[in-house]
Amino acid sequence: MKVKPFRNEPLTDFSKKSNVEIQKRALASVKGQLGKTFPMVVDGKKLRSDGRIVSYNPSNKDEVIARFYKGTKEIARRAVESAYKKFEEWRYIFPEERASYLFKAAALVRKRKFEINAWMIYETGKNYAEADGDTAEAIDFMEFYAREMLRYAARQPVTPIKGERNELVYLPLGVGITIPPWNFPFAILVGMTSAAIVTGNTVVLKPSSDSPMMGKIFCDIMKEVGLPDGVLNFLPGSGGEVGDTLVGHPKTRFITFTGSMEVGKHIYELASKVQHGQIWLKRVVAEMGGKDCIIVDKETNVDVAVKDVVASAFGFQGQKCSACSRAIVDKTVYSKFVNKLKTEVGKIQVGSPTENNSMGAVINENARKSILNYIRIGKREGKLLVGGGKARGNGYFIKPTVFIDIKPDSRLAQEEVFGPVLAVIKSNDYEQSLKIANNTIYGLTGAVYTRNRKKIKAAKKHLLIGNLYFNRKCTGALVGAHPFGGFNMSGTDSKAGGRDYLLLFLQAKLMSEKI
């Protein structure tokens, strides 16, 4: 199979009125489809139960996006068993054929981009650009992983030995459980799931209860392009009942998870226990939280740094594991930075994402309560610069909030808030900035703003950060260009969208023949 070199999907330019109008028409069309009820799908069969999961619009909390029949322990066990049976067929499908499903699905998503954006805007509160970037990344993941599978399926280099014929091949693992997050509800879900499928594994997808519609859309697309029944199974359900059953099942071979550190640790612990009849050690691919920073050195353009800190901290309401939640600023430019920061944050418009405001609502009431609690903590630990409470609207709106004079060891500087809250920390010098940046249990993303090449070299050497950027924001990783994943309690350094990622879904087999 010959394919063109990978290129990232272009983002839609919403500064053009025509694109805004197209997106608004898609929103109007999707609005007429809200409120329906959908089944689970296991082995191609539609299943119903007594329970329901209801997806609401976080920016209009009384509006139901969709209802889904809720999985049970019995259905979860059935899903793994049927996926295990299907694996015995799917594993032998030629890699080129498996890759073709991803290419077809990517083309279909490309055609339906504005519609998928619209569902995301309603279900998770992303504005136009954030939703469009999410959909584009989903396309990138499928295009990239399809090509990567072809690379791994090709003849692998081994050292030649006289008198032997040696061959190294990569085999799929088995049944995978995909547990994606709500904050990149399409891109990460598609990336995790498509990587498992294209490598020859079968999947039980348990979507986030805050964004199940995005999982349904992807499953429908894969069915439309002809993916055989049972390769991908759709099972909404609670983490405690369905999630734990899926993770703990002895025929589950691997789990891919993106979400909070607490849930990630629980999955890791549960998966480590070998169940009766289990003949492997389960593999866990986890991308968890972050306490990401931007270092602002005295030798930099403060205006540029301020704009990028704001974009990194408050894009999608700060609900990104890569979001900047700590700005570490040299004392020489601290006052200047703070003054400009206050002005820039004041420009942010909070409101309904259907009207393409800068910031929408946070995902649900529990998230809002948690963020408001951290705002109360921030008022004790530092000085409130701007924001500091709820914003108006019939949703879970919070004002973009900045605290200054925060100490490096305070709770606001150490704990993941996952919302529109930024802690500004004053540093005595660049060396101290590097130490402050490393002083958390996380190691996901970060950025450094400086013109000094020696300081850039020092940051490259000393910062333990999975995705480290210089003189650009710390969010917005692109598939292929910025393989994504971090260290320590940020996860297993999975490097999604990179050349090593598919290895996490494969195992190597060496065959040597004497000649």
Longest dimension (CA), the chain: 77
Instruction: Tell me if residue 143 is catalytic.
Output: no
Instruction: Tell me if residue 293 is catalytic.
Output: no
Burial 246-266 (b: 16+ CB within 10 A, else e): bbbbebbbbbbbbbebebbeb
What's the per-residue H, E or C state across 269-307?
Answer: HHHHCCCCCCCCCCEEEEECCCCEEEEECCCCCHHHHHH
Taking only the tens place, the pLDDT of each residue in 372-385 is 999 999 999 999 99
Q: What are phi and psi of 441, to 5 degrees?
A: -80, -5
Architecture of the domain whose range is 292-479 = 3-Layer(aba) Sandwich (3.40)
pLDDT at residue 118 tops 90? yes
What is the percentage of the chain residues whose pLDDT exceeds 70?
Answer: 100
Angle at 40 between CA 267 and CA 78, to 5 degrees: 60
Rounded average pLDDT over 26-34? 98
Taking only the tens place, the pLDDT of each residue in 64-79 is 999 999 999 999 999 9
pLDDT recorded at residue 32? 97
Would you call 484 helix, strand, or coil by DSSP? Answer: strand
| Mean pLDDT over each residue of the chain, to the nearest integer | 98
Query: What's the half-sphere exposure (Cβ side, CA atoms, 13 Å) at 500?
Result: 9
Q: What are phi and psi of 60, to 5 degrees?
A: -150, 80
Q: What is the pTM of this model?
A: 0.98
Q: Which of 3.40.605.10, 3.30.750.24, 3.60.20.10, 3.60.15.10 is the CATH number of 18-288+493-514?
A: 3.40.605.10
Contact between 374 and 359 (Cβ < 8 Å): no
* Residue 368 pLDDT level (bands cut at 50, 70, 90): very high
Catalytic residue among 321, 324, 344, 474: 321
Taking only the tens place, the pLDDT of each residue in 234-268 is 999 999 999 999 999 999 999 999 999 999 999 99
β-strand pairing of 175-179 with 202-205: parallel
Would you call 444 helix, strand, or coil by DSSP? Answer: coil
Which residues make Cβ contacts (< 8 Å) with residue 157, sequence separation at least 6?
A: none
pLDDT recorded at residue 230? 98
Query: Token pair for residue 359?
Result: 């910031």
pLDDT at residue 198 tops 90? yes
CA dihedral 321, 475, 125, 412 (to 10 degrees): 50
pLDDT at residue 398 tops 90? yes
Catalytic residue among 148, 287, 344, 416: 287
Parts of the chain belonging to CATH 3.40.309.10: 292-479
Cα–Cα distance measured from residue 191 to residue 175, given in angstroms and rounded to the nearest whole number:
16
Contact between 325 and 423 (Cβ < 8 Å): yes
Tokens 């150490």 belong to 414
Parts of the chain belonging to CATH 3.40.605.10: 18-288+493-514
pLDDT recorded at residue 342? 98
Kindly tell me the burial class for residue 508, based on how many C-beta atoms sit within 10 Å of its own C-beta (0-12, 13-18, 19 or more). exposed
Taking only the tens place, the pLDDT of each residue in 226-241 is 999 999 999 999 999 9
β-strand pairing of 292-296 with 324-330: parallel
Burial 59-95 (b: 16+ CB within 10 A, else e): bbeebebbbbbbbbeebbbbbbebbbebbeebbeeeb
* Residue 1 pLDDT level (bands cut at 50, 70, 90): confident
Contact between 90 and 246 (Cβ < 8 Å): no
pLDDT recorded at residue 2? 85
Taking only the tens place, the pLDDT of each residue in 147-183 is 999 999 999 999 999 999 999 999 999 999 999 999 9
